Structure 1
């Protein structure tokens, strides 16, 4: 039972944490985002090269949790069409399509996925004046992709394909066990993905840099500031993008990346890459080898927000 995707792109992800001030300072002063709205314990942060009013939402809460992941679509009619399909398939809505009261407004629906994450799909959200990132400027252009951990990844991948119309780009495995699935809703190799893990949780968010030089400068800036780079720099096989992975101040994995592959929808066929072959995790061979301890860095804490709608 497949759905034709009405999704056009990834808009933002929203996370909550007790150490809000520390987290806000990290994303503004270290990671290189621009705060567009700050409202009593909630911060909305944009990437300077993106028209999205915000790509990250931070919220102060007594517990760390993933609030939601948000995607855009072309029109309010597409939001309504998707909602009708979700209701017909007995997906639980957080709220029906309505005018949004978050910055930028728009029209959107929220619902729970099969494991209890909150997903938002919206249209007609206001855009911001953005700019071209300059040569050698080591700050993100835009949010590239978000991946989630799942204890039932085959079921969850199928859910996103069937209910939201994602297409499978590539799969990673170790031996005969598949561990990672890359999903797309446009012609970028992936904007979303699922990783096999012991519990449902946020895996990582990736931010696109202007180019290789800016990617390396951003990586180096964090290193000089004393933030541990637990994997990278290197270049993945699936998606052909570069990577440097860090932890934010709440223990969530964030990535600097660039040159994510653009696929030809008419000719693309999904690949299965075996991570027991080192070049499939890092084509360059410059990153530290993928180990169990590195993988554990992105397993994250058990998400306390499953099947619990955020307060905003």
Structure 2
């Protein structure tokens, strides 16, 4: 079966967020994430930084509205579109200031929206700032098996690693890749259906230090980490933004070959943080 990784590699390129207090969020991402804000005619805000971008919409709730993936060229995007239609996946045309014409969106069985398109980042000057490429997005779900079935067998993601409860044998976490990086999407089994966090991949461990120092100067405390994940083998820490959305900073994420078999890990603290205590979702 053709997968995203083998035939239509896709890389996370921006998030579309809703906010009850958009100005506070804009201030946070401009100040802390080196993202330059531009108001749009429709009332939304466009935020750009070095290898990271965001659309922000005023709303009566805060959270993630959509995650957008870049297919790099129109030919790959068209190939993915045809494959999704052949698999009876409903698509919706999308217009985005961050994507070239031809972008489209799909929704998973629980209503999460994923956008696929060709990024127009190359048409704009790269803003200066600290390194941190938008790299992955993670959710909690009450229907883990059905969601993984959709993203693997309909969309074409590949399972990189699974975390399993050793007593029950129940799948607890699944890490999915869309190119050669270990994961660009992941799902935790939880009691809610909600956005869990998003992640920025830095260049090296010293970047993790520098991001930590930046948040420390603003009295924004790390709530998870620093540490090293088992699945993905990456260094990390987590903080929250102005709306209490969780941000992860990562380095040295594992590169995974298309032929590599999925790994299986036990559900325990050492799996989620081999350096110490972990945040276990419930």
TM-score grouping bracket, smaller chain normalisation: 0.7 to 0.9
> What is the aligned partner in structure 1 of residue 264 from structure 2?
272
Which structure 2 residues correspond to residues 208-219 of structure 1 after superposition, within 5 A? 208-219=201-212
**1:156 aligns to 2:151 (yes or no):** no
User: 1:107: how far off?
Assistant: 2.3
Rounded Cα–Cα distance in structure 2 between residues aligned with 1:33 and 1:195:
30
User: 1:147: how far off?
Assistant: 0.9
> What is the aligned partner in structure 1 of residue 27 from structure 2?
25
Residue 18 of structure 2 contacts residue 61 of structure 2 at CA under 8 Å; is this kept in 1? yes
Residue 132 of structure 2 contacts residue 249 of structure 2 at CA under 8 Å; is this kept in 1? no
Q: TM-score, normalised by structure 1?
A: 0.80
User: 1:257: how far off?
Assistant: 1.0
Residue 79 of structure 1 contacts residue 109 of structure 1 at CA under 8 Å; is this kept in 2? no
> What is the aligned partner in structure 2 of residue 118 from structure 1?
113
Rounded Cα–Cα distance in structure 2 between residues aligned with 1:233 and 1:124:
32
Rounded Cα–Cα distance in structure 2 between residues aligned with 1:111 and 1:284:
38
Q: Pick closer, same or farther for the CA change 1:63–1:144 going to 2, 3 Å.
A: same
Name stretches of at least 5 consecutive residues in structure 1 with no aligned partner: 134-138, 297-312
Q: TM-score, normalised by structure 2?
A: 0.87
Residue 165 of structure 2 contacts residue 266 of structure 2 at CA under 8 Å; is this kept in 1? yes
User: Which SS does the other structure have where 1:263 is aligned?
Assistant: coil
Rounded Cα–Cα distance in structure 2 between residues aligned with 1:55 and 1:131:
11
**1:168 aligns to 2:159 (yes or no):** yes
Size of the aligned set, in residue pairs, is 275
Q: Pick closer, same or farther for the CA change 1:81–1:209 going to 2, 3 Å.
A: closer
Residue 3 of structure 1 contacts residue 163 of structure 1 at CA under 8 Å; is this kept in 2? no
**1:129 aligns to 2:125 (yes or no):** yes
Rounded Cα–Cα distance in structure 1 between residues aligned with 2:188 and 2:245:
15
Rounded Cα–Cα distance in structure 1 between residues aligned with 2:213 and 2:191:
32
> What is the aligned partner in structure 1 of residue 3 from structure 2?
4
Rounded Cα–Cα distance in structure 2 between residues aligned with 1:124 and 1:210:
22
Q: 1:290 aligns with which of 270, 278, 282?
A: 278
**1:108 aligns to 2:95 (yes or no):** no
Q: Where in structure 1 do 4 or more consecutive aligned residues deviate above 3 Å?
A: 87-90, 103-106, 128-133
Q: 1:190 aligns with which of 183, 186, 197?
A: 183
Q: Pick closer, same or farther for the CA change 1:167–1:59 going to 2, 3 Å.
A: same
Alpha carbon RMSD of aligned pairs, Å? 2.3
User: Which SS does the other structure have where 1:119 is aligned?
Assistant: strand
Q: Pick closer, same or farther for the CA change 1:84–1:171 going to 2, 3 Å.
A: same
Rounded Cα–Cα distance in structure 1 between residues aligned with 2:181 and 2:198:
15
1:209-240 CA distance string (max 9 Å, x none): 23111202212321332223211100111101
User: Which SS does the other structure have where 1:69 is aligned?
Assistant: strand
User: Which SS does the other structure have where 2:77 is aligned?
Assistant: helix
**1:35 aligns to 2:36 (yes or no):** yes
1:57-102 CA distance string (max 9 Å, x none): 221112224211111114333333333333343333333xx7x352
Residue 147 of structure 1 contacts residue 192 of structure 1 at CA under 8 Å; is this kept in 2? yes
User: Which SS does the other structure have where 2:196 is aligned?
Assistant: strand
